[in-house]
A and B are shown apart, each in its own frame.
Chain A
Amino acid sequence: MPSDTLEAVSEIRELSYAEAVREALGQAMEADERVFLFGEDVGVYGGAFGVSGDLVHRFGKDRVIDTPISELGIAGAAVGAAITGMRPVLEIQFSDFVTLAMEQLVNQAAKIRFMFGGKASVPMVVRLPGGSGTGAAAQHSQSLEAWFAHVPGLKVLQPSTPHDAKGMLLAAIDDPNPVLIFEHKLLYKTKGHVPAEAYRVPIGKAAIRREGTDLTIVGSSIMARKAEAAAERLAADGISAEVIDLRSIRPIDFTTIAESVRKTHRLLVVYEGVKTMGIGAEISAMIAESEVFDFLDAPIIRLGGADAPIPYNPVLEKAAVPQEDDIVTAATNLVRRGEA
């Protein structure tokens, strides 16, 4: 791979999110022969969302492995490979299909190390394209990340930029634990600066995307991007929003959120998963339980997915998850009137 050429232009180089993921996979497989990619249609097809692309031609079908449509089986295969010295990267074609693989991820991958008294580790990565916005309806559009964040033993990431998509995937492959990466389908085509070298973005550290003083908006995955756009509009209206991109929901970077809320006194949490029992509930509760409670000058507001399956109709689909306008409205109400 002509990495030296790429490095020369890395300052200005832009990649799409999907390209950034592919580059990370390629670099990981180049650097470590224990790493392999497998999943449904990741080979010649190039992945359902084109993420694996030409990797099968570069690394061969023994390292970019097409699997039968057997989500439980392949999740278990990742576990088995991981505990015997490999570094599997599994793609679950749509994150919704992870429902078929729950047993292996929740009962096996997450618990093996603990059950065995620390005498095994399960260094596997599962990539899960998720989220709504593509008209794929109820069984192909969910945001199930909070389910897994509820399971000790797993790590759950939601990179929102091409830069983080690459850096966090490389960090996940290095990590000795099972790591689930939820990639929002609408982000795959978004572009951004991605250095050519194989860099790591630490797991468990949120990013402050924009500094502000009037309120803190915590967003995960695509909602962090929407929050950034909303913050731009809020600024024009005289409201200074601090935007935190969660990036990792387990472990969660409570310190960064707490420090921000201590400064801004107001918190808005935005996430695409169903609002009820979701990420926002956890963040709100953590603030309420902490000493930062005493710094709140307004109720904490959550914007999350509706209590409904993702609908097919595009108008309904948009209405089912928070949009940029919703964030602007909620933030404005929170700052100006103390409520959403």
Chain B
Amino acid sequence: MPVEVILPKVDMDMETGTIEAWHVKEGDLVRQGDTIFEIGTNKAVMEVEAPASGAIRNIKTETGVPISVGTPVAWIYLDGEAATTPSEPAAAAATVAAATTLSKAETPAAPVITVAPTSSGLRATPLARRIARQNALDLKTVTGSGPRGRIGESDVKRHLEQRPRCAPAQEARPAPAAGASEGRLQPFSAIRRIVANRLSESMRTAPHFYLTSEIEMSAARDLLGRLAKRHERIGAPKPSLTVLIARVAARILRDHPVINASVEGEATRFHERIDIGIAMERDGDLVVPVLRDAGSMDMPAMTREFARLREGMAKRTLTPAELGGGTFTISNLGMYGVDSFTAIINPPQGAILAVGRTVDKPVGREGQIVLRPMANFTLSSDHRIVDGVAAARFMADLREALENPELLL
């Protein structure tokens, strides 16, 4: 009897998933454990392994449409089984939940970017939740006026009225401007959808403010050169500027707990651990692998970890736990020649550091105009938990540390 391949439930509250891509085609021979397709949930993209070895048949080819958990998406015909079945095997076919790369994760995967939570700790009436859903509103950002802080309809409506005018997600479908080329319409990938929703949400709910510092990178550059030699000697990968910045940030975040913090309803969550997310691009998607416990790593360790994450990302072997749950994020676009930019905070984090390119610029030093390698650092902060002075102090420490890295000793 052929083995059914179902769209597996890979997350606690998952009801539907989307097949992002098939790695096999009709008739391919697969071995148990081979990746056969990628599934996008509302949290992350995961690979699904073949539950048995044999020939793949009856692939449901729809990608990009939501499918209910448990729906058969293909069948695997074992060796010797009639490979030409006119229709789908009967429902009696053995159901074997397809294994996923997640199955070995010890703890429930932390999402790369969390979706609006449906329960844990948050009190809201069913009606409030319904309206929030319809308006893509994160209830965490709403203040409840009911008993024990329960959010009701009136709280949500008040909140919606106060937020910047913005059409609800479902209605945001403007017709193409008259005369404009229709072009190619590509539906969002699962990741793109998450990024779009979460960053929109961030801009709507988190009052951003930005501080920019131009920092001299001579000492950092010099240090990076020396580190490269040392790493070569000890067999560690070559360190990059991004890692160095992450290392420095991790060190000074210790002294700035409010920057290493998140918004939680009406409270500030000060994180004990420093987990630094590094914004990266993969096949046109934004992903943020996390240097877990960055505060405890030295440069070789962090460089190795960063290399591992980058490789895992390229090979798509990272778990959602490795792709989410940071406490602070760094986005470096300097390698693309960007001078400076402002980044959108990765919610529920309180701040993100945007790094521009390092370029020789004339600066005044001891009464002389000299050329020095300079880079722009812009910190975006959520004003709900971070005040201007607190952000400025962080930036001052960042400048001091990058310009005088020996002070970190």
Where the two chains meet, the residues of A that have a C-beta atom closer than 8 Å to any C-beta of B are 265, 293-298, 337-339
Assuming the contacts A337-B146, A339-B147, asked whether A294 and B152 have C-beta atoms less than 8 A apart, the reply is no
Contact of B146 among A294, A295, A338 (CB under 8 A): A338
23 A-B pairs in the complex with CB atoms less than 8 angstroms apart? A265-B125, A265-B127, A265-B153, A293-B126, A294-B126, A294-B129, A295-B126, A295-B127, A295-B130, A296-B126, A296-B127, A297-B126, A297-B127, A297-B152, A297-B153, A298-B152, A337-B146, A338-B125, A338-B146, A338-B150, A338-B152, A339-B146, A339-B147
Among A293, A298, A337, max chain B CB count under 10 A is at A298
For the complex with contacts A265-B127, A295-B127, A297-B128, 11 further pairs of A-B residues with Cβ separation under 8 Å are: A265-B125, A293-B126, A294-B129, A296-B125, A297-B125, A297-B127, A297-B153, A298-B146, A298-B152, A337-B147, A338-B147
Where the two chains meet, the residues of B that have a C-beta atom closer than 8 Å to any C-beta of A are 125-130, 146-147, 150, 152-153
Among A265, A293, A295, A297, max chain B CB count under 10 A is at A297
Determine the chain B residues whose CB is within 8 A of the CB of A265 once the complex forms: 125, 127, 153
Majority SS of interface residues in chain B? helix
Which residue of A is nearest B154, CB measured? Answer: A297
Do the beta carbons of A294 and B147 come within 8 Å of each other?
no
Which residue of B is nearest A293, CB measured? Answer: B126
Which residue of A is nearest B146, CB measured? Answer: A338
Determine the chain A residues whose CB is within 8 A of the CB of B152 once the complex forms: 297-298, 338
| A51 vs B360: C-alpha distance when bound (angstroms) | 105
Determine the chain B residues whose CB is within 8 A of the CB of A296 once the complex forms: 125-127
Determine the chain B residues whose CB is within 8 A of the CB of A294 once the complex forms: 126-127, 129-130
CB distance from A18 to the nearest CB of B (A): 44
Which residue of A is nearest B127, CB measured? Answer: A297
| A265 vs B146: C-alpha distance when bound (angstroms) | 15
CB distance from B334 to the nearest CB of A (A): 48
| A189 vs B260: C-alpha distance when bound (angstroms) | 73
| A296 vs B150: C-alpha distance when bound (angstroms) | 13
Which residue of B is nearest A294, CB measured? Answer: B130
| A294 vs B126: C-alpha distance when bound (angstroms) | 5
Which residue of B is nearest A292, CB measured? Answer: B126
CB distance from B122 to the nearest CB of A (A): 15
| A294 vs B146: C-alpha distance when bound (angstroms) | 17
Determine the chain B residues whose CB is within 8 A of the CB of A297 once the complex forms: 125-128, 152-153
CB distance from A72 to the nearest CB of B (A): 47
Determine the chain A residues whose CB is within 8 A of the CB of B130 once the complex forms: 294-295
Which residue of A is nearest B133, CB measured? Answer: A294
CB distance from B96 to the nearest CB of A (A): 32
Determine the chain A residues whose CB is within 8 A of the CB of B128 once the complex forms: 297
CB distance from B51 to the nearest CB of A (A): 35
